[in-house]
Structure 1
Amino acid sequence: MSEFAVGCLGILALLVLMVLRMPIALAMALVGFAGFSILTSPQAALRMMATEIYANFSSATLTVIVMFIWMGFLAYYSGIGTQLYHFAYKLIGHLPGGLAIATQGACAIFGAICGSNTATAATIGAIALPEMKKYKYDDALATAGVAAGGVLGILIPPSVILLIYGTATEQSIGKLFMAGILPGVVLMLLYMLVIFVLALRNPTIAPPGPKADWRERLSALKGGLWEVLVVFCLSIGGLFAGWFSPT
């Protein structure tokens, strides 16, 4: 059997296994092992699997993922996520769709200290969804806003996904982190714009919240934002200054 035929059958088998709800990682491992066995031999495939698994899981570079996740857990249990949402809420919550827009801002800021989109969505969603439900937001818009905002956590550095990608492709992780800032900010602004336009077209799906005065806004500024700025400036600024490497 030719290599091209094996490749085509492998792609087909991978799709079938995914449709059958096999975990993607296991499906890829199984298809790769079977394909390599056909092209070489089962013994060579077993040796290759053993060496590749060891080489990947013993990588010192990937140990930093644990530190990023740990930083996100510290931010979650310290209440920074709650403070960030209330800051964004006081600032722009009175606009049409303001609570959903504030959710995007809080997700972006929280993503600067947590490299996981799941953790970002879970942290901000636990705070934002009850508030949006309280002000009669459309369920579809509220949940979609939290899910979309969570994606910002993998773009704005530090990002676990960019770290894994940089390790796998042997690219500069520091440069990848720098490259993720602008797309993350642009995506956040686009999400905000879409929510604002939808709320203008149909105010019933995203009614504005109460307007806070400047004293309340300045008071909310003290909670959470400074801590995030310090952590973000230390981590990203340290990369620029050469104080430490990304890993």
Structure 2
Amino acid sequence: MSPAAIGLAGMGILLVLLALRVPVAFAMFAVGFGGNAILNGFPAALSLTASESFTLASSAELIVVPLFILMGNVATETGMSRRLYDAAYATIGSVRGGLASATVIGCGGFAALSGSSVASALTMGKVSLGEMDRFKYDPRLSTGVVAAGGTLGILIPPSTGFVIYAILAQESIGRLFLAGVLPGLLLLGMFVLTVSILCWFFPKMGPAGPKTSLRDKARGIAGAAPILTIIVLTIGGIYGGLFSPVEAAAVGAGLVIIFGFIGRTLTLRGLWNATRDSVVTTSTVMLILIAAHMINPFLALSHIPQTIGGFLSGLDLPAVGILLVIMLCYLVLGCFLEGFAMLVLSMPIFYPIITQLGIDPIWFGVLVVLTLEMGLISPPVGVNVFIVKSVAKDVPIGKIFAGVMPFWFAMLVTLGLLVAFPQISLFLPNSMIN
């Protein structure tokens, strides 16, 4: 068999293993190790395993992953995420669809702490679904807005998706964080607009909540002051050049713990639970990254990236046309693959192509992360949909997928705007980092 045939066979085996629900890290490691052993010899595959594992484990940039995960887990333990939602609800909960809009804003705020879409959907689902059910919201809107709002966790910085992209593409984490700010706010605004449109045409989907006094609004905002302070200090510190992303992660995690102990909302047991969950999540991320670095040399040896690049070049399309073809591939793959797996599998194939075309890799990173978000609510895999289903057990899965579709189209419109106007993504990194 030719190297290309071996590469294609390996990718086919990988897809079969993923379809059989084999954990992503184990499936990629098995295919990567086996492919390298076949194409480059068993001793070389063993040596590559040791070297890649050590290189990744000793990478200082990866410290941001456990620290930001710890920050989000501690914020959940201390109830900071609930107080952020309460503040948004006190401000706009009295308007039609206000609870759903407050949920979107709460998801955006929690995203700025956790950097995880799954954590955002799970946490905000526990906080908001009961409230929306109490005020007779249509289950399609309530579950759909939680599943879609949770996707903000991978776009609004600090984002685990940006960190992984930066490591795989060897790009600046700080520039990617800056590039995600305006697209994240744009997407948040599009979600709120979608809620408003739905409730305008179908008023029964999101009835208005009780009116709140100025005192209640002030009390809600004051309750969210600790979490807002942490967001401003950590994210603002990165943008202002006071902290590197690693230092900002440490500052954020430390502040969440300090505020928790000062406010007596964090116990030693709670800190232990948050730390344990962070270790488990970080271990999963590290295993996937190590496995991804086993796949990369296998793909290089099999010449698959060059083959696909030649095919795309043969289409005789302009750079933007090829970019749209790549985005279409991501949208299709997102219906079947988990976003993180899709990112680590696709980067060795598509990244060399976009660099040859002269496409800005920071802009491309924002587009890729947004398409990963769309995959989180795309049928039939839609991880966030199943996360919400675990909270809203009485809502049929089909109704949840129906509820997320308006938000999926809102994301598609946002993707189109980001493709048409690259400066939305590039303005902050180009103006603040030379």
TM above 0.5: yes
Deviates more, 1:98-107 or 1:57-66: 57-66
Match in the other structure for 2:95: 95
Match in the other structure for 1:237: 236
Q: 1:21-36 to 2 correspondence within 5 Å?
A: 21-36=21-36
Q: Does 1:57 align with 2:57?
A: yes
Matched letter for residue 43 of structure 1? P
Quote how far apart the aligned CAs of 1:232 are. 2.1
Q: Distance in 1 between matches of 2:31 and 2:195?
A: 42
Matched letter for residue 87 of structure 1? A
Match in the other structure for 2:152: 152
Q: Does 1:20 align with 2:47?
A: no
Q: Distance in 2 between matches of 1:120 and 1:165?
A: 20
Greater helix fraction, Structure 1 or Structure 2: 2
Q: Structure 1 unaligned segments of length 5 or more: list them.
A: none
Q: Secondary structure at the match of 1:190?
A: helix
Q: Structure 2 unaligned segments of length 5 or more: list them.
A: 247-434
Q: Distance in 2 between matches of 1:102 and 1:7?
A: 48
Matched letter for residue 237 of structure 2? G
User: How many pairs were matched up?
Assistant: 246
Q: Distance in 2 between matches of 1:241 and 1:188?
A: 23
Quote how far apart the aligned CAs of 1:111 are. 1.6
Match in the other structure for 1:44: 44
Matched letter for residue 132 of structure 2? M
Contact 2:84 2:109 in 1 (8 A): yes
Match in the other structure for 1:185: 185
Matched letter for residue 82 of structure 2? T
Stretches of 4+ aligned residues off by more than 4 angstroms? none
Q: 1:2-13 to 2 correspondence within 5 Å?
A: 2-13=2-13
Matched letter for residue 223 of structure 2? G
Contact 1:112 1:228 in 2 (8 A): no
The C-alpha deviation readout for 1:23-48, integer Å capped at 9, x for no partner, is: 12221111111221221212211221
Q: Distance in 1 between matches of 2:68 and 2:217?
A: 30
Q: Distance in 1 between matches of 2:11 and 2:138?
A: 40
Contact 2:115 2:154 in 1 (8 A): yes
Q: Secondary structure at the match of 1:35?
A: helix
Match in the other structure for 2:167: 167
Q: Distance in 1 between matches of 2:100 and 2:2?
A: 53
Q: Does 1:121 align with 2:86?
A: no
Q: Distance in 2 between matches of 1:176 and 1:69?
A: 18
Q: Distance in 2 between matches of 1:51 and 1:44?
A: 10
Match in the other structure for 1:142: 142
TM-score by length of structure 2 reads 0.54
TM-score by length of structure 1 reads 0.93
Q: Distance in 1 between matches of 2:193 and 2:160?
A: 27
Q: Distance in 2 between matches of 1:18 and 1:43?
A: 27
Contact 2:178 2:239 in 1 (8 A): no
The C-alpha deviation readout for 1:89-128, integer Å capped at 9, x for no partner, is: 1211122221111100011112222222222222222110
Alignment identity in percent? 45
Matched letter for residue 136 of structure 1? K
